[in-house]
Amino acid sequence: MKPESLQVTGSFKIRGAYNMMSQLSPAQRRKGVVAYSSGNHAQGVAAAGTMLGIATKIVMPQDAPAAKIENTRRLGGEPVLYDRYTGNREEIARKIALEQGSELVPSYDHAQIVAGQGTVGLELIDQCADQGVVPDQVLICCGGGGLSSGSAIAIKARSPGTAVHTVEPAAFDDTARSLLSGKRERNDPTARSICDALQTESPGELTFPYLQELAGAGLVVTDDEVRSAMRFAFRHLKLVVEPGGAVALAAVLSGKIQTRDKTTVVVLSGGNVDTDLFAAIQNEDAV
């Protein structure tokens, strides 16, 4: 397990946000930055902004987990709320950035973001090597593809024989379908999932070609399988993992990939989940 749920902001997103924002010029820093996110990237941008002395505004869906909105404020960011089903977060963020002259910090489709997120793959290969282990396969949650593509680049560079697989919720399986069709597929705009962190419209323009070249078949799990994985993580691993952060674990537990006689690494990408939702899932039937 690679538990990014234990990261400083509760997810891997701080890696990419800090990497990009630390490279802004003094003039850019003074004008602040704008981002859009369902919550984890928001917290990463807010925390990086506080560390670097950069003002941050983040466009967030009003139905994002309350804990993610609250934590974004606590970390120094200014949430700008919108309706995810009627508004366009990218348009809202771009308008704010244009009005303020601010730099836009994308959640995945940017070279410096991809490089920052890819340190997850770099670290896990090094950590496996420290234990004398060469992983046969690595399973990584996938929304827009920043974490999975960046990690795939690092993993394949260090360990060419290690397979990399993206994992998505069933209603948002655009990457799995895109890998099959060879073109960027889109999700149904009416789709819903418990995995709020993975609800992107389609794979990233920058990230998808990397996944085409480096990743194996995409894996898909149901929301019920995600709930079961969250219970398993808490009861047996003693880890709090959010729905989107549990999809890779769900793929293993539900048998979506063969693990017998293989060394498998699972990335637990985040742990930012509302306490009420987490408690409700834990109170459901035992694994």
Q: Is 126 a domain residue? A: yes
Averaged pLDDT for residues 22-46: 94
Tell me the pLDDT tens digit for each residue of 128-168: 999 999 999 999 999 999 999 999 999 999 999 999 999 99
Looking at every residue in the chain, the average pLDDT score rounds to 95
Same domain flag for 118 and 45: no
3-class SS at 76? coil
Tell me the pLDDT tens digit for each residue of 114-129: 999 999 999 999 999 9
Averaged pLDDT for residues 258-287: 92
Residue 68 confidence (pLDDT): 85
Bridge partners (DSSP) of residue 169 are 221
Q: Is 3 a domain residue? A: no
- Residue 287 in this model has a pLDDT that exceeds 50: no
The domain of 145 spans: 114-282
- Residue 285 in this model has a pLDDT that exceeds 80: no
- Residue 14 in this model has a pLDDT that exceeds 70: yes
Give the residue from 60, 86, 107 where a domain finishes: 107
Q: Is 200 a domain residue? A: yes
Tell me the pLDDT tens digit for each residue of 60-72: 989 888 888 999 9
CA 101, CA 107: separation in Å to the nearest integer? 19
Residue 242 confidence (pLDDT): 96
Count structural domains, the chain.
Answer: 2
Same domain flag for 135 and 235: yes
Averaged pLDDT for residues 95-107: 95
Same domain flag for 124 and 258: yes
Give the residue from 50, 75, 107 where a domain finishes: 107
Q: Is 240 a domain residue? A: yes
- Residue 37 in this model has a pLDDT that exceeds 50: yes
* Strand 33-36 relative to strand 103-104, pairing: parallel
More confident residue, 197 or 239: 239
Q: Is 2 a domain residue? A: no
CATH of the domain at 86: 3.40.50.1100
Same domain flag for 23 and 72: yes
Q: Is 4 a domain residue? A: no
Same domain flag for 101 and 196: no
CA 25, CA 30: separation in Å to the nearest integer? 9
Averaged pLDDT for residues 215-234: 98
Same domain flag for 249 and 218: yes
Same domain flag for 187 and 248: yes
Contact 62, 82 (CB under 8 A): yes
Give the residue from 107, 122, 138 where a domain finishes: 107
Residue 3 confidence (pLDDT): 98
Residue 231 confidence (pLDDT): 98
Residue 286 confidence (pLDDT): 52
Q: Is 1 a domain residue? A: no
Averaged pLDDT for residues 196-208: 94
Residues 6+ apart with CB under 8 A from 63: 83, 84
Q: pTM score > 0.75 for this model?
A: yes
Residue 67 confidence (pLDDT): 82
Structure token pair of residue 54: 């950069």
Same domain flag for 146 and 241: yes
**Hunting for tokens 């987990």 — which residue is that?**
65
Same domain flag for 44 and 176: no
Same domain flag for 48 and 88: yes
Same domain flag for 126 and 259: yes
Same domain flag for 80 and 163: no
Averaged pLDDT for residues 194-202: 92
Question: What crossing angle do the helices spanning 146-158 and 207-214 adopt, rounded to 10°?
Answer: 40
Q: Is 69 a domain residue? A: yes
